[in-house]
Chain A
Amino acid sequence: MSDLAIELRGIDKSFGLVHANRDINLKVRKGSIHGIIGENGAGKSTLMSILYGFYQADRGEIIVDGKPVAIRDTNAAIAAGIGMVHQHFMLVENFSVLENIMLGAEESQILNSSISKARIELKRLESEYGLEVDPDALIEELPVGIQQRVEILKALYRKADILILDEPTGVLTPAEADHLFRILAQLKAEGKTVLLITHKLREIMAITDEVSVMRRGEMVATRQTSQTSVEELAELMVGRRVLLRVEKGEAKPGATRLSLRNLTVKDGRGVTMVDTVSLDLKAGEIVGIAGVAGNGQSELLEAIAGMRRAVSGTMTLNGKPVEVTGTLDPAELRRRGLAHVPEDRHHVGLVLKFEESENAILGYHNNPKYRNGVLLNVDAIRAEAEEKIARYDIRPPNPRLKTANFSGGNQQKIVLAREMERGPDVLIIGQPTRGVDVGAIEFIHKRIIEMRDQGVAVLLVSVELDEIRALSDRILVMFAGRVVGERLPDASEGELGLLMAGVEGPKEAAE
């Protein structure tokens, strides 16, 4: 017996030229909640995948409960008592809860006896950990918070003593995240060990006992959570001092640039995703749209950007009407002063196989200054790309590099540079910092505020409530396709959280 649940010694892993983990040492105390924090690409996920048997380390030792173990595959990890809750749930959507929990841990070839056994065991786990879930419900009918609970139950069903959670709160409402933390505290009380991987410093501070910081494949520090601060952790993650709070002055709203009246949008199945939404966006202000993912924000953005036809409603841009229910023409909207940073930069914002300089003019390639008769003026395009690379600190500074080879944060900067440098009147931005590391977040936030101060009307959609609160001058909360409330950015997180969950807040919308 040992008081360490897991000890890693000298774990080293390379993928080709990428050295993902360098000589990692880590000690996780039994019965503790241990946070692992780091920017995207710092090697957290690789390390956890090694621990769960997805990959094998090139060098190094894994010691579980005092005994060295060879984790050659996932089965070995499960046998060693390690369970993992993946960021993207590993559930079969059209299976029942019970079937998902059983999958891979069935008792016998014929299912009947396995099902009844699993049902009994599930009941026991539910009552022991307070994880209620209907065993016969189909996964696709459950909210994400409950789906995550099923993932945790799956691990517990396999008798896991060590639970790895990879970015567990990304898809949760604040209330669901709080519930998750209570579950984790309960698991800890039962003697389980929890490894929490996240890039959200606030969560680390709220729930962990110890925290380890990774940077560029190395484990740079381990701290007692009670003896560290958000500022120190951020600095350890990035390797330099980071400004966590966004500094901004008072907004000076001007004329209305964009206005929507009763906009209604349906998805491909005919389900109403945006329900009679009205809003006004003025020059020189940032309006944030808060909400849990999937409550119509994406469809709203797409409708405004001319990518999705609205069923009814009107939109005016710079005082002139836009045919939102008729023929869509995103290019025409661009010419009229609308710039769009899409939520999904990989599929909508960029062509990953193109060079950086090509992506830097995407959608604006008909501009005469990029043309040489019918041909592209490659020299001019590259020269301008280089200029933007310098101004937005895009790394590596090579306009001819394939876009897929840039990190998430730098890819996002490529999109931002393209849209912001156009001098738009209205800028709509979806998830500006999704998959972007702390250092780049700081830069992106500053740029968005600068745009506002130059008189641009900014509509910001983000599932990160902190981001919405830090940047917005007004906050609209969307739930089930409707705008359920408007608040000022100093509204409490609890109040916004209730609105996001569809529960009416204490006071009426401050229209």
Chain B
Amino acid sequence: MDLFHTLVVLLESTIRVSVPLIFAALAGLFTERAGVFDIGLEGKMLGGAFAAGAVAAVTGSVWMGLLAAILISVLLSLVHGYASITQRGSQIVSGVAINFIVAGSTVILGEAWFRQGGRTPALADGARFSTIDLPFADSVRDVPILGPIYADLLSGHFLLTYLAFAMVPISWWVLYRTRFGLRLRAVGENPGAVDTAGISVIWLRYRAVICCGILCGFAGAYLSLAMTAGFVKGMTAGKGYIALAALIFAKWRPVNIMLACLLFGFLDALAIRLQGNPLPLIGQVPVQLMQALPYILTVILLAGFIGKAIPPKAGGIPYVKER
């Protein structure tokens, strides 16, 4: 029973750390499926987290914080869009630039406004998300097996956690069952086909980039308003890159993305759990190895050992009308 309990705790923290990955990877899904590669997920998430922390601290409203996160993240997305869609610049350079600018400016602004070494003030209860208990969570807790799964694993998460998991089927539906999704996927494969069909490639890609911004905003807000109570400098700690790895690992498909994020989240949770606890037979596992595993797995995938990850064909290439 102790092992079962450990497992429930482990999975519960898996869900907790997977949420920002799912938001960010789905964000990447929208832009990359439209042919705009985005290495700036990290920066957008961080910018969103900072905006959420700062605004929630000042206004005392969690909703204002969430809104600010989305606004800033969309704004950064539009910068990326302007550079890579309108000005046809390098999508990688633009994304990296955003990551750097955000990493630096959040610290500078945080220090200038709050004087707490780049942090935002710790948030009071009304200014951050609280957990939601599903109905009857307490009364069924004692039911063997199913009880703890319901009460501890499924219940007691933040609103954004449930939203993240809801976004998976919603994203699937949008991409595969709506006109917008059909066009978005088409523009990532062959923008010429979209252009000659009388649809604006530029406007379509901008809309995809905005979707990405909104989702990254959620990811950022989750970090500073739900997972912790306030912004800490560099708090994304590479989650944007892990999300990018998950996106590739999932071969740009929504359900796969959820599974990949859960896998990477599980590895993260396991790494924390194993810190200082040697495994039987194997002994001490270096935490760095666990942290590197998502990237290692992605590289193995890209090397062709686990099927083939084929990116959207027009990805990374700015669209120029041919003569």
Contact = CB atoms under 8 A, between A and B. Distances in A.
Nearest to A89: B193
Contact of A111 (B182, B189, B198, B313): B182
A73 interface: yes
A92 interface: yes
A73 B182 CA distance: 21
Contacts of A154: 197
7 contacts: A46-B323, A94-B313, A95-B189, A103-B194, A109-B180, A110-B179, A114-B179
A105 interface: yes
Interface of B: 177-183, 185-186, 189-190, 192-199, 313, 321, 323
B182 A91 contact: no
A106 B185 CA distance: 14
Interface in A68-113: 73-75, 77-78, 84, 86, 88, 90-95, 99-100, 102-106, 108-112
A86 B192 CA distance: 10
Contact of A103 (B182, B313, B321): B182
A370 interface: no
Given A78-B198, A103-B183, A105-B197, 10 more contacts: A54-B321, A74-B195, A74-B197, A90-B196, A92-B190, A99-B182, A109-B179, A111-B177, A111-B182, A114-B179
- How many of chain A's residues touch chain B, expressed as a range? 20 to 34
A147 to B, nearest CB: 12
The 3 A-B residue pairs with the shortest CB-CB distance, nearest first, are: A104-B197, A75-B198, A90-B193
Nearest to A108: B179
Nearest to B314: A92
B179 A111 contact: yes
A56 interface: no
A431 interface: no
Nearest to A94: B189
A45 interface: yes
Contacts of B194: 103-104
User: By DSSP majority rule, is chain B's interface helix, strand, loop, or mixed?
Assistant: helix
B323 A45 contact: yes
Contacts of A105: 197
A99 B190 CA distance: 13
A163 to B, nearest CB: 14
B186 A103 contact: yes
A91 B179 contact: no
A46 B322 CA distance: 10
Contact of A91 (B178, B183, B193, B198): B193
A208 to B, nearest CB: 24
Contacts of B195: 74, 90
A90 B189 contact: no
A90 B192 contact: yes
A253 B4 CA distance: 84
A92 B193 contact: yes
A84 B196 contact: yes
Contacts of B189: 92-95
B130 to A, nearest CB: 36
Given A46-B323, A111-B179, A74 B198 contact: yes
Residue of B177, B185, B190 with most chain A CB atoms under a 10 A cut-off: B190
Contact of A109 (B178, B192, B313, B321): B178
Nearest to B193: A90
Nearest to A18: B323
B193 A100 contact: yes
A488 B144 CA distance: 84
Interface string A195-236: 000000000000000000000000000000000000000000
Contacts of A95: 185-186, 189
A90 B190 contact: yes
Nearest to B186: A92
Nearest to A102: B182
Contacts of B178: 109-111
Contacts of B197: 74, 90, 103-105, 154
Contacts of A112: 177
A389 B234 CA distance: 62
Given A106-B179, A109-B179, A74 B186 contact: no
B196 A86 contact: yes
A159 to B, nearest CB: 13
Contacts of A73: 198
A93 B190 contact: yes
Contacts of B321: 54
A104 B198 contact: yes
Nearest to A106: B179
A338 B288 CA distance: 55
